[in-house]
């Protein structure tokens, strides 16, 4: 019997994870049937290097779905909780990312109506178990060795210590707070640089620019740069490799793929010790920033108070503690620019391990 899958194949995190798992199945020469989100046949591999054989295998797998799938077959779906009550199977195994702490009645109902729900954050698992959902399980994500690898390139001609901050621009990830605190301490100092790959694909170009302008308050230090959306994973890989320290300070995260990949490729890190980050970041491979408490997540854009989804709080941090953690990361860079402990992550968190855990729940 073919293994049925319902996945989004696109440039954002859901698509990147889906593609990584599909490549593992492809390398194993597994026979699968595939349908895609938001509609069958919608595939966007524009971030990936061209691979004609892999693309042909995907097309064959989608053809299989129409001829082989039955609702009695258990299916694996990777998607938001919202939209996952719908299923092509009577028994769906859902992999999702939950980032807050107050599941709504709608979210609890969706979880209970799936055969199993997998989260990449142990905290998310505990939150739902505390509310009577005994079908939730922890499955860590993995290093994408097809798209990401440490490089030997020289990106800067001097000894400046370069920080990266990455991700989808939104309140939850504390980008504004972290960048403004960094500028206060290190702005216009030639020994340091900050590279910001901050872009929200759900906002227009003008909206993204407006957020950046508000963050800067009319003055951009010479050692702070903002990058646009990177069309290719190869570009993003170069970006991650070009820094010494990555800043992972999201107040609620399912895993933190860019930060994880950076550390696994030997970069140092400042990581807020909370949510999905705790699955891979520890005091040996990162400078851990202790949360100062919690604040409401609502931003009237992606998180709206009273909505049927995405309710609750995110972790926060103290600005002085953040700068103290940056100072400790600078000390680590001066001692050794390569984070040897971080590089162990790619051997521990493999796509084979993640896929095997998923398939165990499909049995």
Give the dihedral sign, CA 327/328/331/336: negative
pLDDT at residue 178 tops 70: yes
Q: CA-to-CA distance for 42 and 37, rounded, in angstroms?
A: 7
Give the pLDDT score at 89: 97
Q: CA-to-CA distance for 179 and 216, rounded, in angstroms?
A: 9
User: Which of 92, 90, 67, 81 has its CA nearest to residue 6?
Assistant: 92
Q: CA-to-CA distance for 104 and 111, rounded, in angstroms?
A: 11
Q: CA-to-CA distance for 222 and 210, rounded, in angstroms?
A: 19
pLDDT at residue 324 tops 70: yes
Specify the DSSP class assigned to residue 172.
G
Which token pair is 250? 């999201």
Q: Give tens-digit pLDDT for 79-97.
A: 999 999 999 999 999 999 9
Q: CA-to-CA distance for 102 and 131, rounded, in angstroms?
A: 10
Which token pair is 355? 């896929």
In degrees and rounded to multiples of 5, residue 61 shows phi and psi of: -65, -35
Residues forming a β-bridge with 248: 271
Are the CB atoms for 45 and 20 separated by under 8 Å?
Answer: no
Give the dihedral sign, CA 209/211/214/216: negative
Q: Write down the mean pLDDT value for the chain.
A: 96
Give the pLDDT score at 229: 85
pLDDT at residue 1 tops 80: no
Q: Give tens-digit pLDDT for 22-44.
A: 999 999 999 999 999 999 999 99
CA dihedral 295, 300, 302, 305 (to 10 degrees): 60
Q: Looking at residues 305-330, what average pLDDT do you find?
A: 98
Give the pLDDT score at 202: 82
Q: Looking at residues 216-232, what average pLDDT do you find?
A: 92
Q: CA-to-CA distance for 186 and 192, rounded, in angstroms?
A: 7
Give the pLDDT score at 151: 96
Q: CA-to-CA distance for 59 and 292, rounded, in angstroms?
A: 49
Give percent of the chain above pLDDT 70: 100
pLDDT-derived band at 152, boundaries 50, 70, 90: confident
- Beta strands of 123-223 (E only): which ranges? 136-138, 161-167, 192-198
Q: Give tens-digit pLDDT for 48-79.
A: 999 999 999 999 999 999 999 999 999 999 99
Give the pLDDT score at 345: 98
* Other beta carbons less than 10 A from residue 173's beta carbon: 25
Q: CA-to-CA distance for 198 and 186, rounded, in angstroms?
A: 19
Are the CB atoms for 197 and 237 separated by under 8 Å?
Answer: no
pLDDT-derived band at 351, boundaries 50, 70, 90: very high
Give the pLDDT score at 240: 98
- The three-state secondary structure class of 273 is coil
Give the pLDDT score at 211: 86
pLDDT at residue 305 tops 70: yes
Specify the DSSP class assigned to residue 326.
H
DSSP string, 291-305: P-EEEE---SSSS-T
Give the pLDDT score at 201: 84
Which structural domains are found in the chain, ordered by start?
3-144+349-362 (3.40.50.2000), 161-348 (3.40.50.2000)
Are the CB atoms for 102 and 312 separated by under 8 Å?
Answer: yes
Give the dihedral sign, CA 180/207/78/349: negative
> Is the entire prediction scored with pTM above 0.95?
yes
Give the pLDDT score at 228: 82
Q: Give tens-digit pLDDT for 245-290.
A: 999 999 999 999 999 999 999 999 999 999 999 999 999 999 999 9
């Amino acid at each position: 019997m073919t293994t049925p899958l319902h996945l989004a194949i696109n440039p954002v995190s859901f698509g990147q994870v889906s593609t990584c798992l599909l490549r593992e199945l492809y390398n194993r020469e597994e026979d699968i049937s595939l349908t895609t989100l938001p509609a069958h046949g919608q595939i966007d591999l524009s971030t990936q290097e061209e691979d004609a054989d892999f693309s042909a295998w995907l097309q064959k797998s989608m053809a299989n779905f129409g001829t082989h799938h039955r609702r009695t077959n258990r299916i694996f779906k990777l998607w938001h909780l919202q939209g996952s009550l719908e299923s092509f199977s009577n028994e769906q195994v859902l992999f999702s990312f939950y980032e807050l702490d107050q599941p709504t009645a709608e979210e609890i109902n969706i979880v209970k109506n799936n055969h199993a729900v997998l989260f990449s954050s142990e905290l998310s698992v505990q939150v739902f178990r505390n509310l009577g959902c005994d079908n939730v399980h922890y499955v860590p994500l993995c290093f994408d060795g097809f798209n990401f690898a440490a490089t030997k390139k020289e990106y800067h001609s001097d000894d400046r210590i370069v920080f990266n901050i990455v991700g989808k621009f939104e309140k939850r990830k504390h980008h504004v707070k972290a960048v403004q605190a960094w500028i206060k301490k290190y702005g216009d100092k030639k020994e340091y640089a900050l590279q910001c790959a901050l872009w929200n694909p759900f906002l227009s170009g003008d909206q993204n620019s407006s957020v950046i302008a508000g963050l800067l308050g009319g003055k951009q230090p010479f050692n702070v740069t903002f990058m646009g959306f990177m069309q290719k994973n190869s570009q993003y890989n170069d970006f991650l490799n070009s820094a010494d320290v990555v800043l992972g300070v999201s107040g609620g995260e399912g895993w933190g793929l860019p930060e994880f990949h950076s550390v696994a490729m030997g970069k140092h890190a400042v990581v807020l010790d909370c949510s999905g980050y705790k699955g891979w970041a520890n005091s040996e491979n990162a400078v851990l920033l202790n949360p100062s408490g919690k604040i409401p997540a609502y931003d009237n854009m992606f998180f709206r108070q009273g909505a049927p989804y995405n309710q609750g709080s995110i972790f926060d941090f103290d600005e002085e503690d953040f700068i103290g953690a940056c100072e400790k990361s600078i000390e680590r860079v001066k001692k050794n620019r390569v984070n040897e402990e971080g590089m162990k992550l790619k051997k521990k968190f493999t796509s084979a391990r993640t896929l095997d855990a998923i398939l165990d729940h499909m049995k």
